[in-house]
Amino acid sequence: MQHQQGEASPRRRSSAYLNALSLEIEKRLQRALASSSQKRNILQELFADLALEIDDRAKDIILSREDLISSAEYSVNDRLCFYDVLANYYVRVPLRGKPILDLIVQVWSQSFASHTFALLFHKWLFEVELDHADVLLRYSSALVQGATNVLWIDIQSNARCFQSLFKYLLDEVALEPTRLNKIPVQAQRDLYLLLSRFIFFYNAVEKLESFLKLCPTFPNAILVGGPADIFVTEVADQLQKLKVEPVLLHYLVQIKVLGGMQLRIATSTRLKTCLYNFTSPGGPMYPTRAVRHAAWDALDLLFPVGRYPRHLISMFFRLLYPWYWPSSCWNFILCYIKAMFYCLLRLIFSSWGKLREPKRA
């Protein structure tokens, strides 16, 4: 009996704190509604606070054992944010999230409203029964829009603060037909396109095969091709939008897993053109040297046919721009010196190893 009371006490304390957090969110949303001039700033601050990581001391106060187990499944590197815990809370206690949801709907046209909805209600949408089909369509469309905005923040900052959101949408929705089929077909397609654009960024390539098998049907499949073509088209479009060099380099490394994939000629040409745009300096991409080399590596691996003519043509066009010659020559000299230095080191170490070998009688 005392043991049961001891377990109930942390649960009550956790519920009290989560309820207090929900009341604070309500107050901020009400302030945003009341203040037209400060509306955007209030919503932005609310979103930033929801994305904060919960420190160890706060975890002991806010979380019950069930919360820790449920949230830990989707936490990344033991990083647990307030939105992770609140998303679970609104699944367990849907009525507590309803006032917040009603307030978000009223400020829906404002920036960061969709961001907040995606963080707080991405689990609620799939795990709580909703009666009206039109409401389900509206909320599922809102989720895709909000998740797109949120995941782009990770791209722009080269961080993975919202990886738990992506992981849930991929593992528990896209790869779980029972949950995926809860939302309208159009929302399923939009979610598939969204996840296609970010699956490389969040290092989920090992699930790519299963992801492609569960691709929803598209009405224009005759024109755009099958699941692989749709996926590669989204990746190619995403590559052209990336402006953060480390993220672009990460994509160019990850994209090598597409080798051997059966694609339509139009899709293959689109990807080849996209990669080729990153191999030369100047517009329209203005890639750095590291990006150019990564793009060449990906292009040569995915499209080995015509590799040497491509390099020859690229060299010819480089000769048309004399202002690139000094930097090209300098980098060529540095690469040659490094190669000679490493060869010399290998020769020295191999000779040293032979000298240390005991002589046979």
Give the 3-state secondary structure of 106-132: HCCCCCCHHHHHHHHHCCHHHHCCCCC
Tokens in use for 47? 């979103």
Answer yes or no: is 328 within a domain. no
Question: SS3 of 226, please?
Answer: coil
pLDDT score, position 154: 96
- Report long-range pairs for 235-238 (Cβ below 8 Å, ≥24 apart): 235/196, 235/197, 235/200, 235/271, 236/270, 236/271, 236/274, 237/197, 238/197, 238/198
State the Cα–Cα distance between residues 272 and 122, nearest whole angstrom.
36
**Residue ranges in the chain modelled with pLDDT below 50:** 1-7, 69, 74, 361
Of 120, 151, 141, 152, residue with least CA distance to 49? 120
Answer yes or no: is 313 within a domain. no
pLDDT score, position 316: 61
Answer yes or no: is 174 within a domain. no
pLDDT score, position 361: 46
Answer yes or no: is 241 within a domain. no
Model pLDDT for residues 316-352, shown as the tens digit of each residue: 666 666 666 676 676 667 766 877 888 888 888 777 7
**Amino acid found at 5:** Q
pLDDT score, position 76: 56
Answer yes or no: is 43 within a domain. yes
pTM for this model (two decimals): 0.84
Task: Report, in angstroms and rounded to the nearest whole number, the Rg of the chain calculated over CA atoms.
Answer: 26
State the Cα–Cα distance between residues 276 and 314, nearest whole angstrom.
10
Answer yes or no: is 300 within a domain. no
* Beta bridge partners of residue 76, listed in sequence order: 79
State the Cα–Cα distance between residues 59 and 61, nearest whole angstrom.
5
pLDDT score, position 234: 96
Residue 61 structural domain: 10-161
The number of domains in the chain is 1
Model pLDDT for residues 133-165, shown as the tens digit of each residue: 788 889 999 999 999 999 999 999 999 999 999
3-state secondary structure 142-197: HHHHHHHHHHHHHHHHCCCCCHHHHHHHHHHHHCCHHHHCCCCHHHHHHHHHHHHH
Answer yes or no: is 187 within a domain. no
10 Å Cβ neighbour count for 333? 10
* Residue indicated by tokens 């995915």: 302
State the Cα–Cα distance between residues 291 and 308, nearest whole angstrom.
19
Answer yes or no: is 144 within a domain. yes
